[in-house]
Structure 1
Amino acid sequence: MEGLHDFLKLLDSWLGGNPLFPFILLGTGLFFTLYLGFPQIRYFKHAWKVVTGKFDKADDPGDTSHFRALTTALSGTVGTGNISGVAFAIFLGGPAALFWMWVTAFFGMTTKFVEVTLSHKYREKTEDGTMGGGPMYFMDKGLNMKWLAVLFAVATVISSFGTGNLPQSNGIATSIQETFGFEPWIVGSVLGILLALVILGGIQRIAAVTSKIVPFMAAVYLVGAFSVIFANLENIGPSFSAIVGDLFTGSAATGGFLGASIAYAFNRGVNRGLFSNEAGQGSAPIAHAAAKTKEPVSEGVVSILEPFIDTIVICTLTGLVILSSGVWKEKHINEFERSSLEIVAGTYDENNLQDRENLYKHLNHIDGSSVEMFNGEIQVVSGKAVSGGFTIVHARSLAEDVVVTVGGDEDLFTGTLNIVDGNITKDNIVLNGKSLVHSARLTTIAFTKGFFGEFGQYIVSIGLLLFAFSTAIAWSYYGDRAMTYLFGSRSVMPYRVVYVAGFVWASFSDTELVWTLASVAIVVMTLPNLFGILMLSKEMKSTVKDYWKKFNAENKS
């Protein structure tokens, strides 16, 4: 698994971690925002009218209503990205990462509008009688680029696991284990059965389930978030100051947090923002293609609401909970994941300014760091290291009170650990101790700092369960539409079986491995989609112009 994770990290450095990717994503959103005259602002009010059914017609073609199409798409975006993803972005990039999530969402509202409109315009009925839509259809029929359509469809199948399946299952299992103590494989197995029961019913059952889950889960989560925000109201102002102030300086070291560079905050903030609202990824258009309407633009304006609800509202609340509670810079007892663990040569002290500077450069991949990986042996007696010359770094922080066990049990290890390039060579060795935490665990701890106290963790667990499970449901639909496009309706059932199996497996897999896979999967799906909508920019503008001309004529008469 360590070898696989190293390979995925390499791919991520080329793709999602590439300095150009955020500029490509934001640049596309900025271009369409200017080209179409800020539709995310001008059409915002109209979007609410459409989604409430004001302009619905019973005889319009499609499989579901505007509202259900929106909730299905929202269930695909509102998931672990809102709970785990925000925490992970702040963990990596500091408070400024949240600002870049906002920027991604603002321009993403326009990107979503464009991709949904074009996908709806080129949708078609499949052999099973349901609507098939998504970027692969406008790439095929609008651009006459079958090869690009096939590439996107394959990327969608991969991303259905990397975005909608594995991270969701892992996030649920981690949170449930943290709160209730249930073994991850048990959680994954039970939810896997429930997932199978829902997705076998197709889009009608999926839309029915998500239209009930989404409003309820949002209400529960909002109550919990505000309980923390109001309990730490005096920290809200400083939190906003840090979000904006760190934009131009990077986040300085504070508490156990060793700092983050401007570039790191920008890159991770944009990347996590995309994971959260999926604007530009091309996934939501697949759900919106099922909406009952003859007007593609009317469904496009509905989609403007997605990044707003998902990122500007829900992700902001999560970010304020984490920042105002202060837990993002505190160390907590946890079991160290191998993928987040490295042993460096020499003894470092986080209270020493020069040591902090060296570690800051090392963790943020800045030239000039003298930190080197440790190679050699560590002597351990009853779980405690008795030899020196090394420092344990876990989760981008200096680990404290480290205990070495065998197999994660209470069996304290005594013997010699061989370290090669900072990695422990023994597979059954587990380290526990105090370090920074991230993802669902960080958000869970933050929710205990409000009026509900320790009961706040249950809100996160319930919220994450509903958020992530509904995301897995929605993404199974995206994947089966892609499989239908590639291989026909007969391929859907085998895909669903593998999808459920992957969901169960991810529940007990390495969290950082799963998130790295997600980062890679997002980009391989996003790049061809952005290329496609840019190629159809003139058609998009004329389609919008025709819609408003027709709409105004009908509403005057």
Structure 2
Amino acid sequence: MQELNNILSLIDSHFGGSQWFVFLLLGTGLFFTVYLRFPQVRFFRHALKVVSGKYDNKHDIGDTSHFQALSTALSGTVGTGNIAGVALAIHLGGPSALFWMLMTAFLGMTTKMVEVTLSHKYREQTEDGTISGGPMYYMKHRLHMPWLAALFAVATIFSSFGTGCLPQINSISNAMFSSFGIRHYITGAILAVLLALIVIGGIKRIALVSERLIPFMSVLYIMGAVSVLAYNYDNILPAFGAVFGNIFSGTAASGGFLGATVVWAFNRGVNRGLFSNEAGQGSAPIAHAAAKAEEPVSEGMVALLEPFIDTIVICLITGLVLISSGAWMEKYDNQFQQADTVVLSGTYQEKIPEQKALVSGHILGKQPLPLFTGTLQVEDGKILTTGITILHARSFAEDVRVKSGKESYTGSLAVQNGNVALPVLKDKQVYLTGKSLLHSAPLSTEAFKKGFFGDWGQYIIPFSLLLFAFTTAVAWSYYGDRAVTYLWGSKYVRAYHIIYVAGFFLASFTDTTIVWAFSGVTVALMTLPNLIGILILHKEVKNSVDSYWKRVRGKL
């Protein structure tokens, strides 16, 4: 598992996690924002009117209404990125990572409008009578690059697993186990059956489920978050200060948090921002292509609202909850993820500033420390080997114990270059426990305990994740099946659905870190062809938007 995670992380570091990818993503959004004269500001009110149904025409070609298309697309974006993704970004980059998430969303509002306009314009009606659209269609019909369209479609299929399937159920099952003790595979099995029943019904059933669940779950989650913010009201202004005050200086070590550089905050904020709102990824245009609309630009206007709702509203609220509660820099008892565990050669103490600074430098990649290779001797759960320091989740691990099932472990553990090999004995997994920082859904769960609801607040996260992440998985199954339809036709969609549901179940008990690493790779593979395509067609987009706006103003 550790080797697989290292390979995926290496690939991600050269693509989605690289600086050139971040600049390409933000640069595309900035270019279109200036080129189209800030459409996310100029057209915001008009977008609200369009999605409200003011311009709907039941005779237009399509499978869904404007609101259903928006709900379906939002169901694909409002998910673990809003809960676990924000927590991961702050864990890696500090509070200022949230600022870069918001900037990504603001520029992404324009990117989303552009990609949806083009995809809706070149959509097709398939042999079974349904509408199929997405970036692969404008790449084929307008750019005349079938090879690029095929590359995007293949990337979409992989990304349906890396974005919509694997990390969603993984976060749900982790939250259910943490809060209720429900075994991961049980959660996975139940939800896999429900997923299968919904995806078989196609876009109309998916849209029907989405338009009913999305408003309900968004309001419910925001109400829970507001209860935490109200309880910690005196920390809200300092939280804003932490977000905006360290943008160009990085975040200093505080509590169990060992610090973050400007580069880490910028990179992880943009990366998780993209994962959350998917602007530029080319996924949402597939849902919007099914909308009943004669004017492609009108559907682009609707799409403009997605990053605003998803990131500027929901992710901002989540981030403020994490920061104002202080949960992001506190240590908690937890079961260690193998891929998050590192054993250093040498003894370093967190209470000694000089030694803490050395470990911080190692975490931030400034000055690597020697990694331990050898054997850890364990007796009754306690590690007897001296001259080592154990890190977990980028923090000093405390009160570390080794267990096999529920019992204390006695024996030895092999360590190679800081990576601990954890065996399975008599069908029981050997694992490490102790105190460390948390990230992803477990961190959000702890933050929601620090409000008016106290420990009851922890149930807000698993319930929200259950709704958010499940609807995301549903939406992404549609994105994947449209890609399959483009490549091989409708007859292979059923086989794709079977594989998708099976992968959904298996991911419920897969290592979280590996799932997120795979997700980062698939996001980049899908985003690059789409960004190239919309940049090439920038003049056509501008002409379409200007022409549409003249017609709209003429009707006012």
TM-score (norm 1): 0.98
Match of 2:148 in 1: 148
- The CA distance in 2 between the partners of 1:418 and 1:460, in whole Å, is 36
Counterpart in 2 of 1:211? Answer: 211
- Tell me the SS of whatever aligns to 2:449: helix
Asked if residue 427 in structure 1 is aligned to residue 423 in structure 2, the reply is yes
Give the Å deviation of 1:6. 1.4
**Structure 2 letter corresponding to 1:55:** Y
Cα offset, 1:415, TM superposition: 2.5
Query: What does residue 256 of structure 1 align with?
Result: 256
SS at 2:514 equivalent: helix
2: distance between equivalents of 1:236 and 1:267?
A: 25
Distance apart, 1:419 and its partner CA: 1.6
Where does 1:445-456 land on structure 2 (aligned, <5 Å)?
A: 445-456=446-457
Show CA shifts across 1:482-515 (max 9, x none). Answer: 0000000001000000000010011110001101
Give the corresponding residue for 2:387: 389
Distance 2:307 2:202 in 1: 25
Deviation at 1:198, TM superposition (A): 0.3
Query: Residue 378 of structure 1: CA displacement?
Result: 2.2
CA distance in structure 1 between the aligned counterparts of 2:368 and 2:25, rounded to whole angstroms: 34
Match for residue 403 of structure 1 among 401, 407, 410: 401
Secondary structure of the corresponding residue to residue 360 of structure 1: helix
Residue 283 in structure 1 maps to residue 279 in structure 2? no
**1:546 partner amino acid:** S
The CA RMSD measured in Å over matched residues stands at 0.9
Is 1:180 the counterpart of 2:184 in the alignment?
no
Whether contact under 8 Å (2:373, 2:418) holds in the other structure is yes
Q: Which amino acid aligns with 2:454?
A: G
Partner secondary structure for residue 252 of structure 1: coil
Supply the distance in 2 between the matched residues of 1:53 and 1:516 (Cα, whole angstroms): 40
Matches within 5 A, 1:327-366: 327-366=327-366
1:308 is matched with which residue?
308
When structure 1 is superposed on structure 2, of 417-426 and 207-216 the one drifting more is 417-426
C-alpha displacement of 1:357 = 2.2
Deviations 1:259-301 (A, max 9, x none): 1111001000000000000000000000000110110000000
Counterpart Cα distance in 2 of 1:180 and 1:66: 38
1:480 maps to 481
Distance (Å, rounded) in 2 between the aligned partners of 1:424 and 1:162: 26
Report the residue type matching 2:139 in the other structure.
M
Q: Judging changes above 3 Å, is the alpha-carbon distance between structure 1 residues 209 and 370 closer, same or farther for their aligned structure 2 residues?
A: closer
Cα distance in 2 between the residues matched to 1:15 and 1:212 = 37
Q: Which runs of 5+ in 2 are unaligned?
A: 425-429
Number of residue-to-residue matches in the alignment? 551
Residue 49 (structure 2) pairs with residue 49 (structure 1): yes
Q: Give the structure 1 partner of residue 492 of structure 2.
A: 491
After TM superposition, where is structure 1 displaced by more than 4 Å over at least 4 residues in a row?
none
In the TM superposition, what are the counterparts of 1:25-40 in structure 2 within 5 Å? 25-40=25-40
Q: Residues 370 and 10 from structure 1, CA distance in 2 versus in 1: closer, same or farther, beyond 3 angstroms?
A: closer
Identify the match of residue 375 of structure 1 among 369, 373, 395: 373
Q: Is the 8 A contact 2:422 2:431 kept in 1?
A: no
Residues 144-164 of structure 1: per-residue CA shift (max 9 Å, x gap): 000000000000000000000
One-letter amino acid of the structure 2 residue matched with residue 417 of structure 1: L
| Whole-Å separation in 2 of the counterparts to 1:48 and 1:31 | 24
Paired AA for residue 349 in structure 2: D
State the AA in 2 paired with 1:460: I
Matched residue SS, 1:451: coil
- Range that drifts further, 59-68 or 1-10: 1-10
CA offsets, 1:327-369, max 9 Å, x none?
Answer: 1101101111110011011011122222222222221222xx1
Distance 1:148 1:305 in 2: 28
TM superposition shift of 1:72: 0.2
CA distance in 2, matches of 1:433, 1:204: 47
Letter in 2 for 1:488: G
SS at match of 1:334: strand
- Residues 277-286 or 428-437, more deviating: 428-437
TM (norm. structure 2) is 0.98
Aligned to 1:524: 525
The answer for the alignment partner of 2:226 in structure 1 is 226
Aligned counterparts of 1:411 and 1:179: Cα–Cα separation in 2? 21
2 CA distance for matches of 1:29 and 1:68?
25
Q: Give the percent of matched residue pairs that are identical in Structure 1 and Structure 2.
A: 59
Do the aligned residues in 1 keep the contact of 2:2 with 2:419 (CA within 8 Å)? no
- Corresponding letter in the other structure for 1:257: F
Q: Structure 1 residues 157-166 or 374-383, which shifts more?
A: 374-383
Question: Could you tell me how far apart the structure 2 residues matched to 1:244 and 1:548 are?
Answer: 36
Q: CA 1:70/1:426 → structure 2, altered by over 3 Å: closer, same or farther? A: closer
- Is 1:514 equivalent to 2:512 in the alignment? no
Q: Distance in 2 between matches of 1:284 and 1:415?
A: 51
Deviates more, 1:383-392 or 1:222-231: 383-392
Instruction: Please give the secondary structure, in 1, of the residue aligned with 2:110.
Output: helix
Which residue matches 2:427?
none
Other-structure match for 1:99? 99
> For residues 70-89 of structure 1, what are the structure 2 equivalents within 5 Å?
70-89=70-89
Q: CA deviation at 1:521?
A: 0.7
**Which amino acid counterpart does residue 424 of structure 1 have in structure 2?**
V
Structure 1 CA distance, aligned partners of 2:418 and 2:527? Answer: 34
How far apart in 2 are the matches of 1:68 and 1:418?
Answer: 54
1:441 alignment counterpart: 442
Q: Summarize deviations over 1:229-248 as a string: whole Å, max 9, x none.
A: 00000111111111111112
CA distance in 2, matches of 1:487, 1:364: 45
- Give the drift of 1:370: 4.6
